[in-house]
Structure formats: C-alpha cells, structure tokens
Amino acid sequence: MKIGIHLPQWGQDATRDGVLAVAQAAEACGFDSVWVADHVVIPVTSETKYPYMDGGTPFEPNDGFLEAFTTLAIVAGATQRIRVGTSVLVMPMRDPVLTAKVTATLDVLSGGRLVLGIGTGWWREEFEALSATFEGRGSRMDEQIQLMRALWTGRSVEFHGTHYDVRPVFCRPAPTRAGGPPILVGGMSTAAMRRAAHLGDGWHAVGASPERIVAEREKLAKFAEQAGRSIDQIPISVSTGVSQDIKRTVARLQGLAEAGVELAVMAVSSNTTSAIIAEVEQISQQLNLVADSA
C-alpha cells in the first residue's frame, strides 16, 4: 500500500517553509505523495455541519487556508519524484474549463505527477460566496468530469450538456499522460461510489475505516459491473486521520492494507510542520519506506 501525507494548509505553519519542509521530508522518507484539501473562503457563520467531526471544523477563519493548486505548484517545483494530489477538490464550485487548463498545466510542469481527488462538496455557504449553485452539484460534476477528460485530449472539443455548453475549443498543452491525471472520486455516499465506478479512475473513501471498506466492496463491485468494468479497475484509496501514537497509526495502516486499500492519505491530528515531519519519519522507519522506494 502506498502512503501519502497532507501538507499544512492552515494555521501558523501554512507557509512556504512549512509546506516545503513537509513535502521534502515526505519525498526523502519514501512516501508516495503529498496532498492538499480545497477551501477558497471560510464562511464566518455557517448553518452547514462539517460531516467529518462532531461540531465545528479542524480550522478557524483566522487560520487562513492555502489554495490547493497554487500550493501543489510550489511543491512540484521543489521536489523530483513525489506525486502531488487533491483530497479532495470541490469540483462543482469551480469552472471545469479553467480547472482542466490549470490541472493540465500542473501535470505537465510536474512531469505527470498530479492526482486529482474530487468531490461534490458539503459547505453550502462557501458555494454561495463563490456564486456557485449548491443544488444539483452531483449531476454537474458528472458533466465536469466528461468535459475535462475531453479537453485533456488536446484535440478540438465541442460539448453540449445540461449544465455546460462549449463551442469548439482547444485546451493545450495536453497533460503528460494519455487520459490526463487520474481522477479519484471522493465520498462515502452511494452516489459517489457509483460515480467512481462509471466515471472515475478510483474511489477515494474519505475517512473510512477498514471495516467500512470491506463492507462497501460488494456495492462497489456491483457498480463496476454495471459500468462494464471489474472492481480491480477501480483502486480504493482512503484519506484518514491518524494520531501521534505510532503503534496505533501503523495498526490502522495495516488494517487498511488488509482491507484492499491501495493508497492511504494521512492527516496528522496536529497541523504543525514538526508534528507532521515526526509522523513521516516514524512511519518511514516502521514500514521501511525508504528501502522500498530505493
């Protein structure tokens, strides 16, 4: 199983030095990838509940929040091997043509290292701040995936959908890899799993336990069959919070690997550079990641 780590995106260590220190430590320690989440603004007041915590969010408005693609561009320029990814990009609050251009550029300039985890999003108030419609975001994202894949071919593209209408255009340069960056569809809903099977290059099970992964595999296999695919063609990745107790962290990673997860993206409970790097170094030593990547 490959292992990635979230970069510090908010708080006092969300700086150039902090981000690059974590990214370079992860690369040196044999990690597969570094990851960012996606928020553009933080609403001061919100009636929407954060789905991954009981009350509140892991960050405050005054913490700031580094923009996803800008952060990955800086990291890609300061590293050589490690993949860079979004976990997850909130696609329906972004324009798909502009996003196709930005992601293709980032993929080219990183040497084909971009992985695009995407989701429908949950924060209605953030959508409103960006003048994006919250309702219908799932069907909108379906079209966005199709439109971006078409634009990534580098050929002339004309698209006429329910939500997007594009006259013939070119979007070049095309990404480094044929088909563009892998798209991991994030989310634990039935709709997300169906979307991953029909339109994605993998299912990104946000916050799922090993037990939940095992329980959902049959459903994912059914959706894959409906799409004319095998479940083996839809790799499972997970974003998971981990404690600073190394034994508990290793046990969780081992459990995810046994459940069939191919990539685990870790988010350390502390968002400080020192805590994240300490976790990276301990995981590397425990799992011999440097030796495995040599």
Report the CATH number that the domain containing residue 32 is assigned in CATH: 3.20.20.30
pLDDT of residue 292: 45
For residue 231, pLDDT beyond 60: yes
For residue 52, pLDDT beyond 90: no
* CB proximity list for 285: less than 8 A, separation 6 or greater: none
pLDDT of residue 49: 86
* CB proximity list for 200: less than 8 A, separation 6 or greater: 145, 183, 184, 185, 234
d(CA 161, CA 153): 18
Residue 271 belongs to domain spanning: 2-293
d(CA 209, CA 215): 10
Give the least confident one: 47-51, 67-71, 247-251. Answer: 47-51
Q: In the structure, what pLDDT confidence band is assigned to residue 293 with cuts at 50, 70 and 90? A: very low
Share of the chain above pLDDT 70, in %: 98
**pTM to 2 decimal places:** 0.96
C-beta separation of 121 from 93 below 8 A: yes
Angle formed by the axes of helices 190-199 and 210-226, nearest 10°: 50
Structure tokens at 243: 């404690």
Q: Chain-wide mean pLDDT for the chain?
A: 95
Give the least confident one: 52-56, 160-164, 206-210, 272-276. Answer: 52-56
Share of the chain above pLDDT 90, in %: 88
Three-state SS string across 54-68, please? CCCCCCCHHHCCCCH
E strands of 30-82, at which residues?
A: 33-36
Our CA angle for 44, 49, 53, nearest 5°, is 110
C-beta separation of 277 from 17 below 8 A: no
pLDDT of residue 55: 67
Any idea what DSSP says for residue 29?
A: T
**Domains contained in the chain, number:** 1
Give the least confident one: 99-103, 125-129, 286-290. Answer: 286-290
Collapsing DSSP to helix, strand or coil, 232 comes out as helix
pLDDT of residue 82: 98
Q: What is the mean pLDDT of residues 241-253?
A: 90
C-beta separation of 3 from 31 below 8 A: yes
d(CA 275, CA 60): 19
Q: Look at 62 and 75; give whichever has higher pLDDT.
A: 75
pLDDT of residue 291: 43
Place of tokens 């220190």: 21
Q: In the structure, what pLDDT confidence band is assigned to residue 290 with cuts at 50, 70 and 90? A: low
Q: What is the mean pLDDT of residues 187-212?
A: 97
